Chains A and B, each alone.
Chain A
Amino acid sequence: MAVSPLIPPPPHEAKVTDTPKKTEVNSTERLLHNQNTIPFFHSTNEREVTEQLNDDVRHKYIKDKRLGEGTYAVVFLGHLRTDPSSFVAIKKIKVNAEYKDGLSMDAIREVKYLQELSHPNIIALHDVFSSKDQNLNLVLEYLPRGDLEMLIKDTDIHYGAADVKAWMGMLARGVWFCHENFVLHRDIKPNNLLIAADGEVKLADFGLARSFADPYLNMTHQVITRWYRPPELLFGARQYSGVVDVWSMGMVFAELLLRVPFIVGNTDLDQIAKICEAFGTPTEDNWPGVTRLPNYLPADANHTLPVQGRDFFLRQFPTAGPVGADLLMSMCTLDPKKRSTACQVLQHGWWSSEPKPTDKKNLPRKTDGIKKMGADLTRRGGDFDDNTTFKNAARQLKFTVARD
């Protein structure tokens, strides 16, 4: 908003502000602005300019129908005023009663981090504007093909190791890009992984994101949906690193392979118990310093399980293959220091091993079956597609094969 507050208001214009309605002023101003003349401002010019810019953005989009509503936001389908075929999703943040004196943290986080990140595997934030009653509206990329959770749960959809590899690749790229720019996502789970029209998986919902690596700044451990939360957060660590997201990725990987969430705890304590059961009990040997963590609960001395080796993962996830099981194991290591980083995940040999990841346009999708069926039903019996390439092209006699 650094538009020349130094330009002095023309004296004769100052009087106009007192009388007319605000909308009129805005419209004249817009007119002048569009004509590329030097805009002249009023006594209250600072506010007017920001309002003006906001209006410009707001009028770029048209809201269509409502797509969904949650406790925190309403999502509308929208499109550009200039181009009705360019869809966007407009996320209108509800005014929250808790935050009387400002915006909710989620909204601030989402805007703050999403506008910094531009990557094919991260949902794009096109614009932000505020509507009438000071509601915050985020103009987001339109991703019409649902999310990974939907695909995992739909028993009619069959997918294989190659598809899982493609999805995981896109997820890992998105997470790696966040971490490379020092943003923790902190809420990776299948229903935050949306699918674009071309099949690309996009990381969405940055409501819990924050930047990291500041040594003397504590972070909260009450983040990440419980089933995807790593043990260090369950033990209450206040300083952690990017590998918390890697654990969540590992859980998503396991869920993609099993088609059910892998570790389903009812409470935080239950979650820890189930993690220990699945991967082994954390001890000072396999995780130095774990007993010093705030919420660490000493395990039952005669019920300690050894840390699971590769065999366990191979047995549990046969579809991943030996290399895939190895990757999953490196993502689900209890000790965060030993866990792979997002970069190391991408450098793993699994990506280059067979099978090759499915091309994103060939990935299983939900609506495809319906479309195919429609095409089949509309075709008439015994009818087949017209073979001529161009309509009304000149007919010609065949001289070449006519004889001999």
Chain B
Amino acid sequence: MPPVRDAMANRGDDDEVCPVCKSSRYLNPDMQFLINPECYHKMCESCVDRIFSSGPANCPVAGCHKTLRKARFRKQTFEDINVEREVDIRRRVMQILNRREEEFDSKRAWDDFLEQREEIIANLVHGTDVAKTENDLQRYASENVRSIRANQALEVQEASSFKEQQTHEQELARLRREAAKQEYENERRELQASREDVLSRLAAGRPGDAAAIAREGKKVLLKKSSARRSEEDRIRQKQAALRNSDARKAGQTGNTADKADAAGDSGLIKGLKKIVTPEPEKPYDPFGGMVPNKRDYYTLRDFYPSSYLDPIRQDTRMQAGGYDLQEYYSRTLMEAFAGLGCFVDEEVTRRDDGDSLRSSRPVATQGSALAAVSSAGTPDAS
């Protein structure tokens, strides 16, 4: 947008003259200048009314062919129109790229994000790569609608809670001031009252008692003031405790809102925290991931004829003790097939690559243990 800069070059004296209708403030002291963030050309209020009341029209400044709408004209905040424009751009970009500090993995990632955002703003302000930057920005905006909205809501909430806290604090300060004033007033009144009391007593009493009355009056005064002071201390402590608990409560409510937003890693911004969607709870596995009665190379039968085992089948005493030939079959077959499919070399290299404590495990590695469960056997079983 080079015309903007050109227009700004010759500011100064003709500041007070509308560049469109050439009427000056001298003739029209109520003249107000308005700008439109489309092109930032300045014109007076009556020009805006005249040109744009009937609908969108082209900018009347020569060479500027932007179509402007009346609704978007506003007063300018900064004297320098360049600053005005930069602030507008900045606001728009920041509304889109409104990631928050707690969304990033590391300080480095957060800093990178801040730098990237500044770069985008600078590009837009100075007109470098505008098309591409705008494109990126729009794509990001459409991809992250939800997180942008969530963060906006958070910011609004924070701002309002901050404001609330401030007014609250002001109110507290006012109350404190009033209390102090009241206190001072009370003290003064009491002093006065006791003095009057002493005087009236002196007037009524005998001249010999004067010293005693004065002493007594002072004592009463002292007692009263010390009692008052301790009372005040108590109240003050109470108030301080109350304030603290208030502050703590405010802090807590601020924290709970933080967790609200969640969105994926976008293409534009790197280093965002991975969103941890809580895993769907798995049903409890009593076997802890292992498969019971899994046998790779054979099936276990209920009965194997053997004259060696026949005496045992008839021995009721062994049966009564719970001895189970099934366990014998199972063990015999397991040992017969033990080691098949186990490659000690592989396990040793894997073990040596592992961390130092695990590497020190002398025999049993995880692999051999699993193999043992699936009845393929431990590598060193004979």
Contacts and interface: CB of A to CB of B under 8 A. Distances in A.
Nearest to B328: A213
Interface string B200-217: 000000000000000000
B363 A116 contact: yes
A86 B322 contact: no
A118 B362 contact: no
Interface in A12-46: none
Contact of A400 (B94, B106, B321, B365): B94
A179 to B, nearest CB: 8
Contacts of B155: 398, 400-401
A382 B320 contact: no
A66 B269 CA distance: 53
Contacts of B360: 57, 60, 126-127, 139
A54 B129 CA distance: 70
B321 A394 contact: no
Contact of A387 (B248, B254, B328, B330): B254
B244 A173 contact: no
B159 A213 contact: no
B373 interface: yes
A385 B334 CA distance: 59
Dominant secondary structure at the A interface: loop
Given A115-B363, A239-B318, A289-B319, A176 B287 contact: yes
- Chain B CB count within 10 A is highest, among A348, A398, A403, for A398
A232 B322 contact: yes
A238 B106 CA distance: 65
B107 A215 contact: no
Interface stretch (B23-31, B46-54, B95-103, B188-196): B95-103
B307 interface: no
Interface in B356-375: 356-357, 360-366, 368-369, 372-373
Interface string A163-177: 000000100110011
B142 to A, nearest CB: 18
Contact of B320 (A60, A182, A287): A287
A400 B320 contact: no
Interface in B265-285: 281, 283-284
Interface string B151-173: 01001101100000000000000
Contact of A401 (B159, B287, B373): B159
Nearest to B103: A389
A51 interface: no
Given A118-B365, A289-B316, A347-B286, A387 B251 contact: yes
Nearest to B364: A118
Given A237-B321, A293-B317, A401-B159, A346 B91 contact: no
A387 to B, nearest CB: 7
B356 A128 contact: no
Given A212-B327, A213-B328, A390-B107, A382 B321 contact: no
Interface in A103-154: 115-121, 124-128, 139
Interface residues of B, number: 68
Interface residues of A, number: 78
A243 B251 CA distance: 57
B90 interface: yes
Contacts of A336: 321-322
A394 B111 contact: yes
Contacts of A242: 327
Interface string A253-284: 00000000000000000000000000000000
A289 B101 contact: no
A162 to B, nearest CB: 10
B312 A115 contact: no
A389 B102 contact: yes
A182 B332 CA distance: 10
Interface in A278-317: 287-290, 292-294
A351 interface: yes
A393 interface: yes
- Chain B CB count within 10 A is highest, among A119, A337, A401, for A401
A384 B251 contact: yes
A137 B255 CA distance: 52
A290 B373 CA distance: 33
B87 interface: yes
A67 interface: no
24 contacts: A82-B356, A115-B362, A117-B364, A124-B361, A139-B360, A169-B284, A176-B292, A177-B290, A215-B309, A232-B321, A237-B322, A240-B322, A288-B320, A289-B320, A337-B324, A343-B292, A343-B293, A351-B284, A352-B284, A389-B104, A390-B110, A398-B155, A401-B158, A402-B91
Interface of A: 57, 60, 80, 82-83, 86, 88, 115-121, 124-128, 139, 169, 172-173, 176-177, 180-182, 212-215, 232, 237-244, 287-290, 292-294, 335-337, 339, 343, 346-348, 351-352, 356-357, 381-382, 384, 387-394, 396, 398-403
Given A215-B325, A384-B252, 16 more contacts: A83-B357, A118-B368, A125-B361, A126-B361, A180-B372, A182-B331, A213-B328, A232-B321, A240-B323, A290-B320, A352-B283, A352-B284, A390-B110, A394-B114, A399-B94, A402-B91
